[in-house]
A and B are shown apart, each in its own frame.
Chain A
Amino acid sequence: MIDSTLKKILSEVFTQSSVCIDDSIDTIDEWDSMLHMELIIALEISYSIRVEPGDIVMLTNVKSIQGYLKNKGLL
């Protein structure tokens, strides 16, 4: 299950409603380096966080994004 706020962010960035927990940069065709940056910016704004450079390149699948937000106590 994807958190509803996160799901909304993902759906808006990738303009598709059917994003699921197993999706990643390999399964969503639109998810390229440009949209990844849009996603990071959207996460930073929505959760009032700052994603460190090392994490930016790790958050390339929905599971790791959800885990990252959970570890920060945001979900």
Chain B
Amino acid sequence: MISEFYNKLYESFQTSGSVFYNYYSEEYSYKKLSTNLEKLNFHLSTYKNKRVVLYGPKTFEVYSAIYSIVLSGNAWVPLNLSFPLNRQLEILAVLEANIILYDENLPEEIKSYAKKKNIIIWDLRSLLQQSSVKSFDGFDFSPDDIAYIMFTSGSTGTPKGVPVTHQNYINFVNNAMEILPFKKGEVFSDYHDFAFDISIFYLFCAPLTEGSISPIRSDDEKIYPINHILENRITVWSSVPSVISRIQRLRPEEKIETPIRIMFLCGEPFSLNVLKYCYDNLELEHLFNFYGLTETGVENFHHKCSKDDLKKFEDKGYVPIGKPMKGSDIRLTDEKELLLGGCQITPGYLGGIGSERFEVIEKHRWYHTGDIVELYDDVYFCKGRLDSQVKLSGYRVELMDIEVQVGKYPGIKEAVSFVDNSNTSKFLVCALESEEIIDLKLLKGELRNYLPNYMIPRKFFFVDEMPRNSNGKLDRKEIRDNIWKQIQIRADGHK
């Protein structure tokens, strides 16, 4: 199954006469991509199963490197460029990387870290300028070899590395190819960062349909992606639903004619309100909701939406996550927590952190998703979380990760963070109990050295003493639902 998949993929790289990379007037063909793959393979093929960190923006050269790393039998590790340097260094430390391949000015701190740890550093552009090539001689990988490693927020304050095998993600890609009504030559959007595993969807489905990829590279395009969609004639869109709801908020009444045929949404709750907007205002034909986790090989459930859903699931308010896809097994605990099993379950976190989430029950490995699900009308709905993990714009955020970092700041006795979702836009809030006066500007500045922007609380407030229940445990509900609400009411009164 593995070599068959890669042979097919490689064949499409070599035989497709169409455009692979399309960014306004910038176009690169599959032919050029194939040449780049072989140039990079000249260097990569001397290694096997090495961890190759790729540091760079969404250039054609970086795309070439992703495929070449995976096809050469090494593991691709995307490093999110928007992460603070300290978090990037933490990731490198957890990863124990072997090679860093970069296409942007690599920070001096990363260079000296690499030197200290004997990590090889390659400048992507200079490798591509060389004329030596090496063709790929078969893809005889073990299904359990690591294809890529992604990092997620960890409750201890350290990012968790999730190695994903060839078998894990290929099963998802094969499912997507079967479920989605692709035609030859689709134009795929690339909205999110590579380090968000939705990237696996378009990175592999695009070449398998002889389609092209049109990346969103600047903040301007991210802000209002409609221009990008129209200019680049996007036919397959993939993102978290909140990207669509932002467009909806700005233009709730307007009809926007787009070339999109297929919309692949995932990563957070998909409200019926957004579904209605997709049908009424964007006039979309094929809409899908997917559900899955990095630890379980990208996506495991899917639901093909229909206009009937608006009425059928009115009471729920959300689109269901649907049914498990081929190769994904499910079981529910007494608390209705979803456990996932099957061929997409990844081997476990790097360094064994959080290994308790993987459990062997009756000789099968299961992953505790932490999500509570409910079966209704033959489809599954996600009802919430068992733990303190939240989702913001598709990013998984462990509230504990934030609290650990805030708690390190001098003078702070305790920190409790939560999401305010009382308005249409969700944001992070943090309650502080401190021993001295804290300058919030300085605190935020310090947090930015360790946490990505989406993990920095937008609002902070102080409490004299954190409320606790009779067991002495922090009363998070009281902080969120009473103390914070009262503060907001007082603030509104002063406006």
Contact = CB atoms under 8 A, between A and B. Distances in A.
Tell me, yes or no, whether A binds B.
yes
Interface of A: 15-16, 25, 29-30, 32-34, 36-38, 40-41, 53-54, 56-58, 60
Given A30-B458, A32-B219, A36-B223, 16 more contacts: A15-B459, A16-B441, A29-B444, A30-B453, A32-B453, A33-B219, A33-B223, A33-B246, A34-B425, A38-B425, A41-B249, A54-B227, A56-B250, A57-B221, A57-B223, A57-B224
B226 interface: yes
A36, A38, A41, A57, most chain B CB atoms within 10 A? A57
A36 B425 CA distance: 12
Contact of B219 (A53, A54, A60): A60
Contacts of B444: 29
Q: Which secondary structure dominates chain B's binding surface? A: helix
B345 to A, nearest CB: 33
B227 A57 contact: yes
A33 B222 contact: yes
B456 interface: yes
Contact of A53 (B222, B224, B242): B224
16 contacts: A16-B441, A25-B219, A29-B448, A29-B453, A30-B453, A34-B425, A36-B223, A38-B425, A41-B249, A41-B250, A53-B226, A54-B227, A56-B223, A56-B250, A57-B227, A58-B220
Contact of B223 (A16, A30, A37, A41): A37
Interface of B: 219-224, 226-227, 242, 246, 249-250, 393, 425, 441, 444, 448, 453-454, 456, 458-459
Contact of A57 (B220, B249, B448, B458): B220
B223 A29 contact: no
Given A15-B458, A15-B459, A29-B444, A34 B220 contact: no
A37 B221 contact: no
Contacts, number: 48
Contacts of B425: 34, 38
B416 to A, nearest CB: 19
A21 B223 CA distance: 21
B169 to A, nearest CB: 28
B222, B223, B444, most chain A CB atoms within 10 A? B223
A44 to B, nearest CB: 8
A37 B453 contact: no
Nearest to A37: B246
Contacts of B453: 29-30, 32
Contacts of B242: 34
Contacts of A38: 425
Nearest to A36: B223
A36 B41 CA distance: 42
Shortest beta-carbon contacts, A-B, top 4: A57-B220, A33-B222, A33-B223, A56-B224
